[in-house]
Amino acid sequence: MSPRLAKALVNGGLIGVSAIVLMPMLWMLSVSFMQPGEASTYPPPLLPAHATWTNYHELFERAGMGRYLANSLAVATAITLLSLAFNLSAGYAFAKLRFSGRDRLFQTLLGALLIPAQVAMIPLFLLMKWLHLVNSYGGVVVPGLAGVFGIYLVRQYAQSIPDELLEAARIDGAGEWRIFTRIVLPLLKPIVVTLAIFTFLASWNDFMWPLIVLSDQAWQTAPVALAGLSREHVQDNELMMAGSVVTILPVLVLFLVLQRHYMHGLLLGSVKG
């Protein structure tokens, strides 16, 4: 094979695969701007004849999408901020502080990763009902306050902090809390960003648990509401595409902006494990 042909094949392959991968999202965007009913024709139109905001209007005015997006934002932000506090302090302690039974405890936590989350969901629902957290933000936020994966990620990263640094601070008389906030947290900054974007995306995209715990429409997150809408509006393709756009756009933009940190966490979490 000549080098030129090989080059054409590799790059042509990448262009072809990327086109197939991006096509569904580009089409979603295009159809979301079509007149109601316009996409239900054959052959399927690629671009709207007259681009319109009708579907977005309908989505926010009639279907109440604004409320669902606000719910998603509130839930994902709360989980991200609070779980960062819980996971950072625990991850740091597992990496750098000595306490009896530390390693055995950490092994046990890692073992819990084998158990699928759904096993806990039914008793968790009863617990939430008992705590009066069904149909509230708390029902989604509270179980997400800490996670084994987050603790693991922080621990992996925190292990690279030199012990001498912490020792020196201790000999200087700094308290453990002060060491954590003044010395450790600034050093952990890269993993904080990584973990924040991971958590935010995962909470925004989460479906099964919010579906179970948020049956009341007023509290539903965007994915749960969208799934419900798609069952009601089977024929309204243009409207549903607009719904998909506004659900995906926030996470997609966030990912594009913070991509480097996301990829970093992905590799730290899997390859080195």
Task: Restricting to residues 168-227, name those near another protein by CB under 8 A.
Answer: 170, 176-177, 180, 201, 204-205, 207-208, 211-212, 222-224, 226-227
Q: Segment 51-80, which members bind another protein (CB under 8 A)?
A: none
Considering the complex, what minimum distance in angstroms separates the CB of residue 36 from another protein?
14
Question: Which one-letter amino acid corresponds to residue 37?
Answer: G
Question: Which one-letter amino acid corresponds to residue 176?
Answer: E
What lies within 8 Å, CB to CB, of 112 at 6+ separation is 148
d(CA 153, CA 109): 13
Question: Judged by CB, which is closer to another protein: 11, or 160?
Answer: 11
Question: Judged by CB, which is closer to another protein: 189, or 256?
Answer: 256
The interface region with another protein, picked from 40-48, 49-57, 61-69, 187-195 by CB under 8 A, is 40-48
Considering the complex, what minimum distance in angstroms separates the CB of residue 260 from another protein?
10
Under rule CB under 8 A, residue 104 binds another protein: no
Question: Judged by CB, which is closer to another protein: 127, or 190?
Answer: 127
Considering the complex, what minimum distance in angstroms separates the CB of residue 61 from another protein?
20
Of the candidate residues 73, 84, 148, 169, the single one contacting another protein (CB under 8 A): 148
Considering the complex, what minimum distance in angstroms separates the CB of residue 147 from another protein?
7
Handedness of CA 122, 127, 129, 130 (dihedral sign): positive
Alpha helices by DSSP H, listed for the chain, are 3-32, 54-61, 65-96, 102-112, 118-130, 137-141, 148-158, 163-171, 176-178, 185-187, 189-205, 208-213, 222-232, 237-257, 259-270
**Total of residues contacting another protein (CB under 8 A):** 99
Q: Segment 107-136, which members bind another protein (CB under 8 A)?
A: 109, 112, 114-127
Of the candidate residues 49, 103, 107, 163, the single one contacting another protein (CB under 8 A): 163
Question: Judged by CB, which is closer to another protein: 55, or 223?
Answer: 223
Question: Judged by CB, which is closer to another protein: 190, or 250?
Answer: 250
Burial 216-244 (b: 16+ CB within 10 A, else e): eeebbbbbbbbeebeeeeeebbbbbbbbb
Question: Judged by CB, which is closer to another protein: 109, or 187?
Answer: 109
Residues 53 and 238 sit within 8 Å (Cβ to Cβ): no
Residues 72 and 246 sit within 8 Å (Cβ to Cβ): no
Under rule CB under 8 A, residue 43 binds another protein: yes
Put residue 42 in one of left, alpha, beta given phi > 0 → left and psi -120 to 50 → alpha: beta
Considering the complex, what minimum distance in angstroms separates the CB of residue 248 from another protein?
5
Return the number of other C-beta atoms located less than 10 Å from residue 126's C-beta: 11
Under rule CB under 8 A, residue 6 binds another protein: yes
Residues 243 and 63 sit within 8 Å (Cβ to Cβ): yes
Question: Judged by CB, which is closer to another protein: 38, or 190?
Answer: 38
Question: Judged by CB, which is closer to another protein: 194, or 237?
Answer: 237
